[in-house]
Structure 1
Amino acid sequence: MQRQALDAAAYASQRQQDQGVDRLRYRIAAGLFVVLVVAMALVPMVSSNASFAFYLMLWIAMATGMNICVGFTGYLPFGYVVFYGVGAYATGICYRVLELPIFPSLLAAGAAGVLIALLMAPTLRLKGVYFGIVSLGLATIVRLLIANLPDHYTGGSMGLILASANNPLHSFYAMLAIMAGALALVLWLSRSRLGRQLRAIKDDAGAAACVGIDVPRVRLKAWLLAALIPALVGGVEAWYTNVVDPEYSFHVLVTAKSIIYGMAGGFGTILGPVVGTIALYGVDHFIWERFPLLNLLLLGLVIIGLMLFLPRGVVGSLLKHKPQLRRYIA
């Protein structure tokens, strides 16, 4: 009895210590995110060219949404761009054709992304590369369907022009709100019951089901959350540029960059996708300004080097070689 009591006390003490470390990591991540959001909010006040900051926020939000898919559930959707494209077109059609105000049009973008995610839900039964390939195929189908709708609705191959909605400042802060919401969402997931269930499913779906986790329902919740972010991002980007173009809205590079930026920092961590996006987007911008003709070549070499020497991303590799930092980095 005495030994059992000592074991119980030791377990309770260890658990309390782990919870304290978890709270510390959470507060550090939350503090850094607040600093990032405040810094982005000040950009229009100190600079006349906020385009760099706008697209930095866009890719942070996209990489964070991808992190929910990959880092929390283990799915790698090659067709992730479908939510972005559908969000852009939902905004364009609602504003230009249905003549709704811009903010209800953005809400429609989020709803359209969630609807497409529900229609794609049966593919969640697939695993690994099979899921990725099927999602890419479905994204291609959706793009072709939208491109072949009557020109009155989608503008055909020329797309839609939203010139009357032009408001760079408001669209900038709308993107800021989406980025902040995405970061808040991943913070919540890191400590929520849903997040713990997702990690358990990622580690071993069979064992998770044995302890009472409804695996299909939990996966579906994460899938819907991951779809909402790019759909809203696509809608706001369409508002910012005033153009909805079928070629760009469904371009494979949207998915590729979301994966690369998130992987550069480290999927499965809270800070990883943000760190990776800031680092790689900064490098991409630097190369583009100074070596425009060699942009893709040099960026490709940077990415290859990153994957060879930091295969777990910047944050993931740092935690591997300096495990004591796990006390501070989530």
Structure 2
Amino acid sequence: MATATPSSRTADRERADRIYFTLAALLGGIVIVYFACVPLLGGNLAFHFYLMLWITMASGFNVSSGFSGYMPFGYVAFYGVGAFTTAILVKKVGMPVLATLPLAGLAGLILALLFAPTLRLSGIYFAIVSLALAAICRLVITNMPETITGGSFGLQLGSHAEPVLSFYVMMVVMLVALGTILWLSRSRLGKALRAVRDDAEAADMMGINIARVRLQGWLIAAFFPAVCGGVEAWYTNVVDTETAFNTLITAKTVIYAVAGGLGTVTGPVVGAIAMVWLDELIWRRFPLLNLLILGLATVLLVLFLPRGIVGTVLRWRPGWRRFVP
């Protein structure tokens, strides 16, 4: 039996990478054209805005859970801090909205650094502590002076609402997030994250700096929900602690990411698209039973497709792993 030579293996990898990135570019082009045409063709702006938001949130969560092995039940904290950062800078400081969005992401990174000591925990302990820290963030902002955060009434951005422009900004954020996850999936950092996730002791013996790798993945996972919070605050033109720190945000993010399949680029995207469309369909047909039917659909999905949609397909066709982003 012939044995593959190093040169042939290298050629196979290069061929797989070409197919991989070609498919990614093709899918990315389709996504860009589709969403770019929504405002131009009079599509449902709000639905597609939140579809892009959930794709971004699920993709960011995928870095933390799918690549790093953490399950942050307090993921909403980054979203809420980003939303309030944008609202405060626009309302109280008078900054242009677009200029506040990178600062919203920076606020998410700072919060992630404050939460970084919890990365020494794992499993359910990390999940519970992250949920508690999100609750603390909410209480801190709620009890800040009303002149800063608006108290229980929150903050209104006044005349800054620009639905179409914020829609396109959300599209850019989504594309940057997907591009980052695509890069991460084939980068040394992504491979190191997976190695630490699967066996930290073995990764340490291989010379991987576990603390640094985990922190880098954690920062990437925190940045995008914070920016999403800022863009959503701009889109709705109002921010309050009840909505910005709603635990349902974390719940939906987890469901959408798991539904598609963690650990791949396309998994959270497919999961978010499938579940958001399902949620919209159920809401139109059965508004009073929306949460009940959606909950049952989620349970069935987890029971019959425990690896998610994309994860199950790749399990049936393992050879596709080289080509599916």
TM-score (norm 1): 0.95
Counterpart-to-counterpart distance in 1, 2:204 and 2:296? 42
2:154 — aligned with what?
Answer: 159
Find 1:301's aligned residue among 291, 296, 305. 296
- SS state of the match for residue 120, structure 1? helix
Shift, 1:7, TM fit: 9.6
Contact 1:95 1:101 in 2 (8 A): yes
Kindly provide the CA deviation profile for residues 198-229 of structure 1, in whole angstroms up to 9, marking residues without a partner as x.
11111211111111111101111111111000
Counterpart-to-counterpart distance in 2, 1:321 and 1:195? 24
Kindly provide the CA deviation profile for residues 235-273 of structure 1, in whole angstroms up to 9, marking residues without a partner as x.
000000001011010001111111100110000011100
Q: Once structures 1 and 2 are overlaid, which stretch shifts more, 72-81 or 189-198?
A: 189-198
Shift, 1:8, TM fit: 8.8
Counterpart-to-counterpart distance in 1, 2:213 and 2:229? 25
Residue 289 (1) aligns with residue 306 (2): no
1:238 — aligned with what?
Answer: 233
Q: Quote the RMSD (CA, aligned, Å).
A: 1.6
Find 2:220's aligned residue among 200, 221, 225. 225
List alignment gaps of at least 5 residues for structure 1. Answer: 1-5
Contact 1:306 1:313 in 2 (8 A): yes
Residue 56 (1) aligns with residue 56 (2): no
Letter aligned with residue 104 of structure 2:
A
Shift, 1:15, TM fit: 4.0
Kindly provide the CA deviation profile for residues 49-85 of structure 1, in whole angstroms up to 9, marking residues without a partner as x.
3111100000000000001111111111000000000
2:28 — aligned with what?
Answer: 33
Counterpart-to-counterpart distance in 1, 2:133 and 2:2? 53
Find 1:180's aligned residue among 172, 175, 178. 175
2:263 — aligned with what?
Answer: 268
Find 1:278's aligned residue among 273, 293, 303. 273
CA 1:153/1:283 → structure 2, altered by over 3 Å: closer, same or farther?
same
Shift, 1:112, TM fit: 0.7
Find 1:91's aligned residue among 81, 86, 91. 86
Shift, 1:11, TM fit: 3.9
Letter aligned with residue 51 of structure 2:
L
- SS state of the match for residue 169, structure 1? helix
Contact 1:62 1:233 in 2 (8 A): yes
Contact 1:68 1:222 in 2 (8 A): yes
Residue 45 (1) aligns with residue 40 (2): yes
2:306 — aligned with what?
Answer: 311
Counterpart-to-counterpart distance in 2, 1:322 and 1:28? 17
Aligned length: 325
Letter aligned with residue 285 of structure 1:
E
Letter aligned with residue 194 of structure 2:
R
Contact 1:30 1:187 in 2 (8 A): no
- SS state of the match for residue 78, structure 2? helix
List alignment gaps of at least 5 residues for structure 2. Answer: none
Shift, 1:96, TM fit: 0.4
TM-score (norm 2): 0.96
Letter aligned with residue 100 of structure 1:
M
Kindly provide the CA deviation profile for residues 114-138 of structure 1, in whole angstroms up to 9, marking residues without a partner as x.
1000000000010111111100000
Find 1:250's aligned residue among 245, 258, 263. 245
Counterpart-to-counterpart distance in 2, 1:181 and 1:165? 24
